Structure 1
Amino acid sequence: MKTEEEALVTQNLLTHENIQTNLAVSLLVEKILSKNEGVLTATGAVCASTGKYTGRSPKDKFIVRDEVSDQYINWGEVNQPIDEQSFEKLLKKVTAYLHQKNELFRFKGFAGADPSYRLPIEVINEYAWHNLFARQLFVTPTDEELQNHASDFTVISAPTFKADPEVDGTNSETFIIISFKKRIVLIGGTEYAGEIKKSIFSVMNYILPKNDVLSMHCSANVGQEGDVALFFGLSGTGKTTLSADPYRRLIGDDEHGWSSNGIFNIEGGCYAKCINLSPKKEPQIHNAIRFGSVLENVVLDDSSREPDYDDTSLTENTRAAYPLENIDNIIRPSIAGHPNTIIFLTADASGTLPPISKLTKEQAMYHFLSGYTSKLAGTERGVTQPQATFSACFGSPFLPLPPSDYAEMLGEKIDQFNSNVFLVNTGWTGGSFGIGERMKLSHTRAIVHSALEGELNNIETVTDDIFGLDIPVHVPGVPDEVLVPKNAWSDKDSYEKEAKSLALKFHDNFTQFTEASEAIQNAGPSYKG
């Protein structure tokens, strides 16, 4: 909990005569419409535009380097340091700027569904639609919890305040700064609401491991028999889509903790990509976008206000934020047991990784640390074509601590609870991006279903001679020729070239993990050049 001195930092904002705290959804919607921050869609959701920033700005994210953070943070390109003096000056500028506004919005709630590990937070917004976003994405308190709420971390979001890099020590007009000493997240110069969500996730990735809880960038659901599944993967790999299963109850779609008690959701809502969304392919997500939901950068029909989810004229990173309650098949509270099945999702643009492979513990640790995928268009500013990338623990941009800290915790839990681990490719097949085609969602669903039902635990496999992965020879509902990538390519020589190139990228990337055991280092691709 914040000390009295730390709480005074935001006192200037909290004493604002027109600060609105925990407004009802309907009142926030009224505010949004009256302030022309967004429009009402035909489905009842609010739709807002984020301007030129339609994705995260990783180069504008900082952590204050002080006596609290210095020895723990994995400093570098992901966790850029900023000095205390620069932060304090910028904080004063932002609070003074916001205090001049006619009205501010405040949400008090929690990050974390498990009362034993949840973090009391407050989010102070310049925009009403950002406040609605925060209300839908975090855990909303009961009336009694609200009366006794004392925030331990504060997010201050001022999208129309633009920094001066030469004066403020930032890289651009945009900034996302975390101070673990002051327990404040300071955001400015961007209207992309995802920065609010992800900044608190970064905070939890710092706090939870210190309490022996593994924080994870994954979705989770639970079957009728109580079996729990985790889905790791970066944006665009299918976490939200695959975890929203009509035959399983959703725990959460993006962020979770794994404690000695089991799994718990860090959030209270879902932040789903909605590009090409359709009621046929993703009915649960499509039907969840109704009154109280927030659409980002979705193009609407001028006359009907119907969302056109196929329109990418603003960005491919169109998003929908909605509370978990908008999904019919959820578990409440968002807490479950230990995972039986863990799935690593990758959207491989090279088209050479198999649709599914079963991993040994050592392979699981190797691929967890590697965190390979192809970064898809729109998820970050400046990304317009798929790019091969390695993101440690499938969430490197949000990891304040060294990746090995999280990997070691995962390995211990896999051992302790005998979790089965699979690598699933939701990317391309029959050729690389531009030549092959995206894996059929129906095939991926059949693959995941078989893995969750235990049908692949003891099935016959063949070993890929380039990646060293064990590939099931048959999966119900999936053509056998799709399972072995080389068989799906008409040009075998091109396949060999692409596969070997990707294998070498794995090896080059893994040289950074010198602390990994020899067994884990040898669990990567068989081809070494």
Structure 2
Amino acid sequence: MLSSLESAESIADSLASRVESSESVVRLTPEQAARAARVHATLTEFGAAAFFTHVRSRSASKTLYIGPPEVRQKELTPDQLRIAEELDATLERVSSYLAKAPLVLVERRMGQNSQFSPLCRLYVSVENRVNVRLAYMFSTLMFDPEGATGPELTLIDAPEWPETQILVFPEQRLTLVLGSDYFGEVKKGFLRMGMWEAKKRGMLGLHAGAKLVRVRRDGRLQKILVILFGLSGTGKTTHTCHTHFLSRDGEGVEMIQDDVIFLRRDGSFLGTENAFFVKTEGLSPEVLPQLYDAVMRPNVIFENVAVDWRGRVHLDDYSLTSNGRAVVPRENLGKYASSYINVLDPSELDGIAVIFITRRFTVVPIAARLTPEQAAAAFMLGESVITSAADPKRAGQSVREVGTNPFIIGDPAYEGNWMYEFFRRHEDTVSAYVVNTGGVGEVRQNGRVVKPALRVQIPEMARIIAGMLRGEVRWRRDPLLEVEVAEAVPGVDLSKFNSARHYNWPALSKLVAELKDERREWLSKFPGLRRDVLEARY
């Protein structure tokens, strides 16, 4: 298999060159892509385009990284092993097919800065004409290509390929998406390559949202950069786009990015996208009015969202999938959208708040404040549950993902150490928290839920985050979890989320001990991780 992976890089180079020079490629402007795609769309009553796909989530178990040892996955699924064994033959067949297939090309720019702004080339096979929508969606997501500094990233998508597999060649800056028409593969394919290139330049690509928050704290108005980590579907976009009910004089929020940023060691960062890829499940005007309003616009593109014969959108209809999505231009957020996507001068900030969003249902506290060691451990643990965006068949199961980032290329321990050094270096200005958007108190017997968790509601979590940023949370050290947990915050009754109210002492002690054992076992998988992080009590 090793020799196959090495020879595959050469074949991939040849394949990319053949596609770039093919006479079958038609270059499209964003306007041309929109016109070509909307012919195949269901139009909503307000003029937005809606599409349904055959594949409705990412194919993580069929995604293979190909290249030198430092970029390869350490453990492969049965599907990945089979894909690797057949790789050379697959690439030869793909190369032959793409030489004849009708292709469209759109060029876009990731980011909007003069330092690191990759040029992104997306080729899509339009053997099935409706697949031109992928070019339409990507054109809306990213920026015009003028001013791109490089490097050049290429993704080739053949949705009609008979078998789904995602082939990633980091050193060739190339991704092949085969047999999937799900837009998330295009979006994440480019961002994955961008994060790898950013890492090689000393930055760290974070699967995180970012916004600037102005709050009244310590008697004055302060500007705080908020970075929110979270797996897809756990509330990252929801809380990136929430106002947190900040209404005191001068307070407010500016949404910057909702998915991936490139963090630098001094606390500055570069943004990536010109639109949000919003998960529409649970979105309502009552809970999140500003995001709901941004979604219900004619320039939005829906994917796998129910639209009836009258063109009415039903965000609460999950008959075909719960992983409905919408590409929402940042401009739709109006006054809540920042005029910039980068933070280049951290000295203009009063602080940075890093929030790790998890979704658990037993004893993980609703909110906790972390030391630098605990924060780096939280980054490495990446605790949550599997969502329908990742794997609908396993949705709800517990999962750990370093950095809540399923798209890491390279050594995860490097990223954990990078973050630890970042938290230590900026200990006076960077605060770190973990919030649980799930709940507490769930009881299971024989794998079945016999007592559901008490769920924390979105408005409650929004107020908790506001209390953190205003410095209004009262913290207490939990002797079992060995971490500071939120005891009181204005506007929310936190006492109902105290685990001791939901379990007797033996059950509580057992659950916490099991959680700590699981965490220690997980962290031990990463040789090279700093001892301070490995031994963090959290």
TM-score between both structures, scaled by the size of structure 2: 0.84
* Contact 1:471/1:484 (<8 A) preserved: no
Question: What is the RMSD of the two structures over their aligned residues, measured on CA atoms?
Answer: 2.8
User: Is 2:467 the partner of 1:464?
Assistant: no
**Aligned 8 A contact 2:110 2:119 in 1:** yes
Q: Which moved more, 1:128-137 or 1:499-508?
A: 499-508
Quote the Cα distance in structure 1 between the aligned partners of 2:306 and 2:71. 43
CA distance in 2, matches of 1:343, 1:383: 28
Q: Say which of 408, 423, 440 aligns to 1:429.
A: 440
Q: Give the deviation of 1:175 after TM superposition.
A: 1.1
**Equivalence for 1:305:** 311
Q: 1:498 & 1:154 partners in 2: Cα distance?
A: 47
**Alpha-carbon deviation of 1:402?**
1.1
Alignment pair present for 1:156 and 2:156? yes
- Equivalent residue in structure 1 for 2:356, among 334, 338, 344: 344
Q: Does 1:486 align with 2:500?
A: yes
Checking the alignment, whether the CA contact within 8 Å between 1:63 and 1:82 is kept in structure 2 is no
Q: TM-score, normalized by length of structure 1?
A: 0.85
SS in 2 for 1:383: helix
Aligned 8 A contact 2:454 2:497 in 1: no
Match of 2:69 in 1: 70
Cα displacement (A) at 1:358? 0.4
Note the C-alpha offset of 1:222.
Answer: 0.7
- Give the drift of 1:202: 1.8
2:369 counterpart residue number: 358
Aligned to 1:54: 56
Instruction: Assess, with a 3 A threshold, how the Cα gap between structure 1 residues 23 and 88 changes in structure 2: closer, same or farther.
Output: farther
Q: CA deviation at 1:500?
A: 3.6
Tell me how far 1:216 sits from its aligned partner: 0.5
Deviations 1:474-522 (A, max 9, x none): 11111031353323x2766654444443333222222213433443223
Aligned mates of 1:31, 1:138 — CA distance in 2 = 18
Q: How does 1:107-186 map to 2 (within 5 A)?
A: 107-126=106-125, 127-142=131-146, 145=147, 152-162=152-162, 173-186=163-176
User: 472-481 vs 283-292, which deviates more?
Assistant: 283-292
Give CA deviations for 1:351-407 in whole Å, capped at 9, x if unaligned: 31111110011111111111111113x122353441111111111x21111111111
Aligned to 1:512, the other structure's residue is in SS state coil
Instruction: Tell me how far 1:203 sits from its aligned partner.
Output: 1.2
Runs (5+) with no aligned partner, structure 2: 1-11, 126-130, 215-221, 244-251, 444-448
- 1:120 deviation in Å? 1.2
Q: Deviations over 1:233-273 (max 9, x none)?
A: 11122110101134311110010011247022122221111
What displacement does 1:327 show? 2.0
**More displaced, 250-259 or 87-96?**
87-96
Unaligned runs of 5+ in 1: 163-172
Q: 2:409 matched to which residue of 1? A: 400
Does the CA contact (< 8 Å) of 2:208 and 2:230 recur in 1?
yes
- Mapped partners of 2:523, 2:84: distance in 1: 34
**Matched AA of 1:502:** L
Conservation of the 8 A alpha-carbon contact between 2:377 and 2:416: no
Aligned to 1:367: 378
Correspondent of 2:207 among 212, 217, 223: 217
- The structure 2 residue matched to 1:452, chosen from 450, 469, 473, is 469
1:18-97, aligned counterparts within 5 Å? Answer: 19-24=26-31, 27-34=32-39, 36=40, 38-51=41-54, 53-65=55-67, 69-77=68-76, 90-97=90-97
Residue identity opposite 1:130 in structure 2: L
Output the CA distance in 1 between the equivalents of 2:425 and 2:150.
36
Aligned length: 491
Q: Deviations over 1:19-51 (max 9, x none)?
A: 132231xx43332243x3x31122322211121
- 3-state DSSP of counterpart to 2:384: strand
Q: What is the CA distance between 1:73 and its match in structure 2?
A: 4.2
Percent of pairs with identical residues: 22
Secondary structure of 1:473's counterpart equals strand
**SS state at 1:515 partner:** coil
Counterpart position of 2:324: 318
Q: 1:390 to 1:405 in 2, by over 3 A?
A: same
Query: Does structure 2 conserve the Cα–Cα contact (< 8 Å) formed by 1:471 and 1:483?
Result: no
Displacement after TM superposition at 1:91 (Å): 4.2
User: Aligned equivalents of 2:470 and 2:311: distance in 1?
Assistant: 41
Partner AA of 1:9 in structure 2: A
Question: Which amino acid letter does the alignment assign opposite residue 41 of structure 1?
Answer: T
CA distance in 1, matches of 2:531, 2:370: 17
- 1 CA distance for matches of 2:495 and 2:379? 27
Cα 1:80/1:8, change in 2 over 3 Å: closer
1:387 to 390, 397, 400: 397
**Equivalent in the alignment of 1:166:** none
Cα pair 2:242 2:462 within 8 Å, conserved: no
Determine if contact 1:356/1:483 at 8 Å carries over to the other structure.
no
Q: What displacement does 1:209 show? A: 1.5
1:417 is aligned to 426
The one-letter code sitting in structure 2 at the alignment partner of 1:476 is P
Instruction: Give the Cα separation in 2 of the matches to 1:17 and 1:403.
Output: 40
